[in-house]
Amino acid sequence: MSKPFAITPQQCIQERVFQAVAASLEQVQYLINLCENRHLFTLGLFAGAMRGQVNLLPPARSSRVLEDLRARYPSSQVITDAWISERMDEFPISSAPSLHAKIPAPDPEALQLIAFTSGSTGQPTAWKRSWAVMKLCASLALEALQLQGRPWAVVATTPPQHMYGLETSIVWPLCSDLSLTDRRPFYPEDIRRQVQASSLPVVLVSTPLHLKACLDSAGQWRNLAVIISSTAPLDPALAMALEEASGVPVLELYGSTETLSFAWRRPARQELWYSYRGVELACRENETLVTAPWLSQPVVLADRFEPAGENKYKALGRHSDLIKIAGKRHSLAELNRLLTSIDGIDDGCCFITRHGRVAALVVSRLDKSDIRRHLKPHLDEVFLPRPIHHVSHIPRNDSGKIIQAELQRLLASFVRKD
């Protein structure tokens, strides 16, 4: 969890703060922005823009990822919360951290950044984004979700380096009446306390894994305005339970680093996805292309969709997720959803062994036979996971997506057991 640096909204607003940080930057082309405190992250974004530098947002914070990034972009500098804070010693620092702020940028139109895919399906891919692109997408997202004119605070458990976290917790507040908050709570009790401590109603931005942990924790959830989820499919039963526990709508976003967000739904009540205004999906037999006002050209989606009415679409899953065993078909993503929806499983994922069988990794105290018993009513016998391996954790990045390279290394340790 990030250290809460004590910088007030009034200090962030002043252009001289951006200038002070910008003047301390090295003469490089790129900034590797590792700031976790969202106020300092935003300062880094726009201080770099003042110097004509491009912000690089790494998909993970591991030493290997950072080494690869420095090799790929040799004219670069790493900036962190501590680095920015040290250069602000000349400004008076308050004794308590700010909870929310509006941080207008000196010249947002100069902002350029490069975000990277998570690497969940292979090598991370770079995507360059401008402020104009992100602002246009944000305006349409805020319109679709009816968040315009809402004086609420955004509390996010996802890092600002991830496109989902960047959009919702940084760009949305800068383009609306929403307020940006500086901390990134991790544990359910920390999340609950920060929500309750806010002087404004809270938009909680999180992931299915985090939200499931929050639902399982003790304590009541007050001061929420809406819950937003993304990065992985949100189980409708979990969404319904969250709505009952919190008393607020739970909305799910569809998007990617390649496209930004472009559709939403309320999974407790809706199966279909609703696209933002001006977004169109060209649904073909083997692929779906999305066209959006902020995209320079159509982008092929990883998932397939079919039209279900005006601006409505049904998700059909991914070709890569389709598995065939004994002449029968099933979605690997659906297997994962069923597995992680079991009460008593903290996390898990299914995979196909070298012998073509379904197997699973689980973080759970449940016995293997209990897990299969829960799955049996929902699955054909050939899709019941055998074997099931208990592990201490599933390798995921900060946004909750599985890190494919680390997963493969973990699976290799079970090869002889399969």
CATH of the domain at 253: 3.40.50.12780
Same domain, 294 and 360: no
Task: Return the percentage of the chain with pLDDT > 90, whole number.
Answer: 51
Residue 396 DSSP label: B
Same domain, 187 and 291: yes
Tell me what pLDDT residue 333 has: 82
Task: Give the residue-averaged pLDDT of 305-330.
Answer: 82
| pLDDT above 80: residue 385 | yes
Residue 407 lies in a domain: yes
Same domain, 257 and 272: yes
Task: Give the residue-averaged pLDDT of 28-39.
Answer: 93
The Cα 226–Cα 204 span in angstroms is 6
Over the Cα atoms of the chain, what is R_g?
22
The Cα 130–Cα 138 span in angstroms is 12
Last residue of a domain, one of 290, 317, 344: 317
Same domain, 222 and 345: no
Per-residue pLDDT band for 106 (boundaries 50, 70, 90) equals: low
Tell me what pLDDT residue 94 has: 39
Q: What is the mean pLDDT of the chain?
A: 86
Residue 3 lies in a domain: no
Same domain, 230 and 293: yes
Residue 4 lies in a domain: no
| pLDDT above 60: residue 342 | yes
Same domain, 187 and 285: yes
395 vs 320, more confident: 395
Per-residue pLDDT band for 89 (boundaries 50, 70, 90) equals: low
- Our separate counts of H helices and E strands in the chain read 14, 23
Report the number of distinct structural domains present in the chain: 2
pLDDT digits (tens, 9 = 90+) for 129-175: 999 999 999 999 999 999 999 999 999 999 999 999 999 999 999 99
Same domain, 216 and 173: yes
- Pair type for strands 358-364 and 345-352: antiparallel
The closest alpha carbon to 35, from 19, 66, 57, 14, belongs to 57
Last residue of a domain, one of 287, 317, 347: 317
Q: What is the CATH number of the domain that holds 325?
A: 3.30.300.30
Same domain, 204 and 351: no
- Rounded to 5°, the CA angle 82-88-93 comes to 95
Per-residue pLDDT band for 91 (boundaries 50, 70, 90) equals: low
The Cα 68–Cα 120 span in angstroms is 16
Of 11-20, 360-369, 390-399, the range with the highest mean pLDDT is: 360-369
Query: For residue 417, what are the contacts with CB-CB under 8 A and spacing of at least 6?
Result: 387, 389
Residue 2 lies in a domain: no
Same domain, 206 and 149: yes
| pLDDT above 80: residue 75 | yes
Same domain, 181 and 291: yes
Tell me the pTM: 0.81
Q: Which of 98-107, 111-120, 162-171, 240-249 has the lowest mean pLDDT?
A: 98-107
Last residue of a domain, one of 273, 296, 317: 317
| pLDDT above 70: residue 12 | no
| pLDDT above 50: residue 346 | yes
Residue 402 DSSP label: B
Residue range(s) defining the domain that contains residue 369? 321-417
| pLDDT above 60: residue 2 | no
Residue 1 lies in a domain: no
Same domain, 334 and 263: no
